[in-house]
Structure 1
Amino acid sequence: MQRIPEGRGGGGGRGRRQPVLLQHGVLVDGMTWLLNSPEESLGFILAGRGFDVWIANSRGTRWSWGHVSLDSSDSAYWQWSWDELVAYDLPAIFDFVYQQTGQKLDYVGRSMRTLIALAYVFEGRLIDKLRSAASLSPVAYLTHMTTPIGILAAKAFIGEITTGLGIAEFNPKGMPVTNFLKTLCKNPGIGCYDLMTSFIGKNYCLNESTVEVFLKYEPQSTSTRNMVHLAQTFRDGSVSKYDYERKYMNMRYYGQTKAPVYKMSSIHVDVPMLLSYGGRDDSGDVELLLDSLKFHSPLRPRRLHHRRLRQGFRLRCYHPILQH
């Protein structure tokens, strides 16, 4: 964890500051909240507005390599997917910040970390420590993914191939993953001149100099199993726990032959939720998530707010507080 307890010049707040937790997406770390100027980096902006900013770094990234008994060179170190982040890491983070501050948290998650928060809320375990949740570029369903190399990699089940080759750590800068991506790039119709764009689509908000700064610090490693889990989400069209692909293995871990489904429509927590996504994004999966969440709370009879922001961004709010 990293903390920015106040902004420059004191941060403009009085008394106890409201804690806000920033959780990065997959293949990056907490540095992504701080790479721009203080006027353009969300971590610094929130600190300057009087928030007590906490930045989490997921296991396997540069600030979270430690382990009580395993080394990162051990394959066992990487035997986890976002299921473990839901079951162990996120509750540990929330407990730690709550113990330090004594206050409920505002949560801001990007990309896959929105999925983790939603799955955790689905299990009803954040109620007493969560004040609100904001999801930036929310990820849950992946059936409408449009980037060619992303689709090809998912269909190849990324990790199910690389696991067979003995790759437990998915390091985008490492030679095994680099060779794997080069193999994908040989397929017809896959343009890998700009690998970042090939994976995530054209970004209309980043200029060349910003991308250079980003690539100086990112990307970061994750587990191959985690990439497999995301590929399974694309393949199966549902949000489920990790599928061990063998009935007896699923029975061993889950007591049933199929991996259990996280039913987003069952989320009932009475907590303000905000989802934002780019207006140029393919919004099919976001719309699917919004439809799943529409009955998540007794507050649902209130109107679902849809506001258009500058540069084509869309904002969805599930609670009148967030209109302001």
Structure 2
Amino acid sequence: DDGYILEMHRIPFGKANVTWPNGKKPVVFMQHGLLCASSDWVMNLPEQSAGFLFADAGFDVWLGNMRGNTYSMKHKDLKPSHSAFWDWSWDEMATYDLNAMINHVLEVTGQESVYYMGHSQGTLTMFSHLSKDDGSFAKKIKKFFALAPIGSVKHIKGFLSFFANYFSLEFEGWFDIFGAGEFLPNNWAMKLAAKDICGGLKVEADLCDNVLFLIAGPESDQWNQTRVPVYATHDPAGTSTQNIVHWMQMVHHGGVPAYDWGTKTNKKKYGQSNPPEYDFTAIKGTDIYLYWSDADWLGDKTDITDYLLTHLDPKVIAQNNHLPDYNHLDFTWGLRAPNDIYHPAINLCTKDYLGN
């Protein structure tokens, strides 16, 4: 609705020829997290990747890409070289991108609803959109699988916590250092570094691992080490500096506020001095399956227990799955994820679709 052209990827068929009673495949839509892309769902081996596992189980798999990442770099009027192209945060992703992609999937497939699996920011945008929904969008989401769910990020740890506290409330410093454009793009320099460092000697590969662990949480010994160069080649996949600033604002706010433009602009955009907060208590009409862990430094345990679980209506929480020893990236790349998350989710969706 605001001119961005989003690229989605589809896996319409799997290895097995699965037939469904009504002749229509159930649809699963997967949404990546912060600084990630659709590739996150298919970067492991077929028997380890959520995208491939759902496809092999007979699902029509759609992988979304939010504005500003590797695959969604187009706009009907603006070019990425224009500063205005990057004038957004996850507010716009929740308001425009999510709705546009889901509606397109339903139009193409002829289905009335999808099964939604989100990771990290992919949960934040869904929670935020549902919190403002009048019921028309919630009915399009049959089940919402929230991996490493994000509400408040007041208690995040690691590298991002350092950045948030270092800059404190002087968020303009981010724009001074990184510019008001693209943040951590997936360009040739990043790909070269991934190849030479992450795919190099063991000491270099260990350095690559440790950088990721500084962001996501401690090593959990459940990564396929041969795939680390693949992970690092695709991620980070880029976003806007403004989006990162919004995340840093959330750390200091302690809740889930809209982007803070400053008092003057806030009054113009919101009609008040401070940005409004997304009200997760208003979420209705969608069954939510939570998957979180003590070892996740972005989706911190305290933020889950003290904020998310107290702001979501217990009636919408179908399952609350507390998984041991999962860092933030293990939910998409971890070798235990198929048994702990993907296969159970496939079984739930299959039974639901068949009416059992």
Answer whether TM exceeds 0.5 for this pair: yes
Pairing 1:99-248 to 2, within 5 Å after superposition: 99-101=107-109, 102-124=111-133, 126-147=137-158, 149-155=159-165, 156=167, 160-165=172-177, 166-171=179-184, 194-204=210-220, 205-244=222-261, 246-248=262-264
Q: Which deviates the most, 66-75 or 25-34? A: 66-75
Alignment partner, residue 188 of structure 1: none
Equivalent-residue separation in structure 1 for 2:272 and 2:117 (angstroms): 34
Pairing 1:1-324 to 2, within 5 Å after superposition: 1-11=8-18, 13=20, 15-101=23-109, 102-124=111-133, 126-147=137-158, 149-155=159-165, 156=167, 160-165=172-177, 166-171=179-184, 194-204=210-220, 205-244=222-261, 246-267=262-283, 269-281=284-296, 282-287=300-305, 288-295=307-314, 297=315, 305-306=319-320
TM-score, structure 2 normalization: 0.76
Partner of 1:53, secondary structure, is: strand
**The structure with more helix, counted as a fraction of residues:** 2
Partner of 1:3, secondary structure, is: strand
Q: Which deviates the most, 281-290 or 18-27? A: 281-290
Following superposition, the deviation at residue 260 of structure 1 comes to: 0.4
Q: Is the 8 A contact 1:19 1:103 kept in 2?
A: no
Relative contact order, CA 8 A, sep 6+: which one is greater?
2
Distance 1:305 1:138, change over 3 A: closer
Equivalent-residue separation in structure 2 for 1:289 and 1:233 (angstroms): 14
1:167-189 superposed Cα distances (whole Å, 9 cap, x missing partner): 421126679x9xxxxxxxxxxxx
Aligned identity (percent) is 31
Distance 1:127 1:34, change over 3 A: same
Partner of 1:8, secondary structure, is: coil
Partner of 1:46, secondary structure, is: helix
Give the gaps of 5 or more residues in structure 1: 178-191
Following superposition, the deviation at residue 61 of structure 1 comes to: 1.6
TM-score, structure 1 normalization: 0.83
1:24-58 superposed Cα distances (whole Å, 9 cap, x missing partner): 00111100100111100100000111111000111
Equivalent-residue separation in structure 2 for 1:44 and 1:305 (angstroms): 24
Distance 1:305 1:26, change over 3 A: closer
Give the gaps of 5 or more residues in structure 2: 1-7, 191-206, 327-336, 352-356
Equivalent-residue separation in structure 1 for 2:268 and 2:290 (angstroms): 36
